[in-house]
């Protein structure tokens, strides 16, 4: 089997819309302007020294930190290595930090992901699994989509059908608003290929403590 190449993932990006400025600086300025208008509607005093630069800070945070996963240029570059050891058992990276934002209310989703795959002809550097989770997390998300996007990317780029993804996260749209349940967590999973078999699935879940 030939070494796989990175595939596009069908993600829409804000830069695809013609009304969005091309440069990062122009986009930051536009976000800062609109956020300042929101602050004014809330009755906040933008002349207050503590608030004066908040719109700029928010714009910078959105484009350079929280939502960098919207830019396809930030997609992780996956370097694969031949599976010369012929290792064909599961490889698990557990408790990968998830930092995302709920697309319904723009408040945090914080949790962990447990990711596994069974290599065939290729293996991947372990840190790349963390980078994949981080890339798809850093955009407005729903947890179900995030889980499937990670699994899709792993299958496409690792040339194996056998992948598993579990995300265990706290949604601040649940704990800070509405029902305001601070204790609840959300678990989602995607089991592909061999991980659909109950014995393999049970082994994976046991090893990640679920």
Active site residues: 102-105, 143, 171, 173
Report the alpha-carbon distance of residue 66 to residue 40 in Å, rounded.
23
Q: How many CA atoms lie within 13 A of 155 on its CB side?
A: 18
- Selection from 60, 59, 72 nearest residue 7 by Cα: 72
Report the alpha-carbon distance of residue 136 to residue 71 in Å, rounded.
10
Report the alpha-carbon distance of residue 210 to residue 194 in Å, rounded.
18
Report the alpha-carbon distance of residue 107 to residue 126 in Å, rounded.
29
Positive or negative CA dihedral for 61, 64, 66, 67?
positive
Q: How far is CA 144 from the centre of its chain?
A: 11
Report the alpha-carbon distance of residue 8 to residue 135 in Å, rounded.
14
Report the alpha-carbon distance of residue 171 to residue 175 in Å, rounded.
7
């Amino acid at each position: 089997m030939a070494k796989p190449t990175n595939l596009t993932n069908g993600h829409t990006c804000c830069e695809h819309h013609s009304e969005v400025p091309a440069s990062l600086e122009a986009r930051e300025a536009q976000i800062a302007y609109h956020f300042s208008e929101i602050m004014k509607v809330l009755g906040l005093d933008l002349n207050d020294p503590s608030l004066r630069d908040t719109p700029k800070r928010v714009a910078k945070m959105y484009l350079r930190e929280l939502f960098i996963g919207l830019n396809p240029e930030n997609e992780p570059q996956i370097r694969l290595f031949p599976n010369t050891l012929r290792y064909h058992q599961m490889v698990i990276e557990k408790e990968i930090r998830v930092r995302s934002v709920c697309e319904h209310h723009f408040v945090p989703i914080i949790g962990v992901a447990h990711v596994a795959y069974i290599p065939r002809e290729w293996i991947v550097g372990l840190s790349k699994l963390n980078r994949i989770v981080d890339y798809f997390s850093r955009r407005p998300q729903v947890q179900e989509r995030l889980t499937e996007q990670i699994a899709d990317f792993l299958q496409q780029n690792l040339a194996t059908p056998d992948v598993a993804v579990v995300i265990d996260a706290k949604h601040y749209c649940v704990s800070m608003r509405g029902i305001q349940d601070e204790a609840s967590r959300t678990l989602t999973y995607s089991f592909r290929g061999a991980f659909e078999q109950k014995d393999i699935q049970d082994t994976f879940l046991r090893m990640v403590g679920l």
